[in-house]
Amino acid sequence: MTTGVPDQPWRGPKSSQRLAHVLAQPILSGQVREGDRLPNEAEMMARYGAGRPTVREALRLLETRGLIMLKTGPGGGPIVRRPPKGSLSEALSLVLQVEGASFADVTDARIALEPMIARRAAERITEPQLAELEDSIKQLRDHPGDHDVFVAENQRFHTLIAEAAQSVVLDVFVSTLQTIADGVRVGVEYSARKQSAIAAAHASIVEALRAGDPERAEQAMRDHLAEAERYWRHRYPELMTRPVQWTY
């Protein structure tokens, strides 16, 4: 009891958590698919012998975890979705705020992780992935100074390399850090000249990947990120000390 209102007992976390996990199984196993509708609250209460507060809490937990979307209005209800790989960012940003991490700490982790990922990618990358990376560089070069193209292609480039490394875990980590502290998202701007230098850095990385040269790919990625960090420290010094904030 937290409220002193005896006729509305506060349900322990266990019953709603257990129900959430029962409800999650057909979603996680792929038995129901993105866009499918789950039974409504009344049906769930009947089917699982659970009270309305338990069912609501269970649905809210699944919504928090990105497994369903609760559509309101007539004809609404719980709709199955697939949590995006970036969905960890809420949970991670919270832990990092608690730990007192700064934007510099996140950048530093990217500089530690991504060269190692580029090394792995050099050993595993496929021809279609190389072609996609080369297309990304072409887009940058065909749209000099276009901020939106730059933002999209920069993110696409780093995501493609994380995918090419064929580690779903590392891929998830990189996506999450990108969401939490991408320079562009927090207001870093690049001149046309700087964008062209970045396209050249991307091209060096792709050459190393195409050559299947892990050491060179690792070094090229390290140089690229270290250069980005230098630029941020020089142009946006206050940014680096900014604490990570729980984002939602």
Contact 177, 93 (CB under 8 A): no
212 binds a second copy (CB under 8 A): no
Q: Which is nearer to a second copy, 84 or 145 (CB)?
A: 84
- What Å distances lie between residue 9 and 1, 102, 108, 132, 221, CA to CA? 6, 41, 47, 56, 56
Q: Which is nearer to a second copy, 25 or 131 (CB)?
A: 25
* CA–CA dist 76, 141 (Å, integer): 46
125 binds a second copy (CB under 8 A): no
* CA–CA dist 157, 153 (Å, integer): 6
**Stretch of residues binding a second copy (CB under 8 A), selected from 104-112, 154-162, 194-202, 232-240:** 104-112
* CA–CA dist 18, 12 (Å, integer): 11
* 94: exposed, middle or buried (Cβ count in 10 Å: 0-12, 13-18, 19+): middle
Give me the least distance between CB of 117 and a second copy, in Å please: 8
63 binds a second copy (CB under 8 A): yes
* CA–CA dist 107, 230 (Å, integer): 11
* 217: exposed, middle or buried (Cβ count in 10 Å: 0-12, 13-18, 19+): buried
Q: Which is nearer to a second copy, 58 or 201 (CB)?
A: 58
Among 33, 47, 82, 193, binds a second copy (CB under 8 A): 82
Q: Which is nearer to a second copy, 140 or 164 (CB)?
A: 164
Q: Which is nearer to a second copy, 108 or 134 (CB)?
A: 108
Q: Which residues contact a second copy by CB under 8 A?
A: 1-5, 8, 10, 12-13, 16-17, 21, 24, 28, 40-42, 52-53, 56-57, 59-61, 63-65, 67, 70-74, 76-78, 82-83, 85, 87-88, 90-92, 94-101, 105-106, 108-109, 112-113, 116-117, 120, 167-170, 172-173, 177, 246, 248
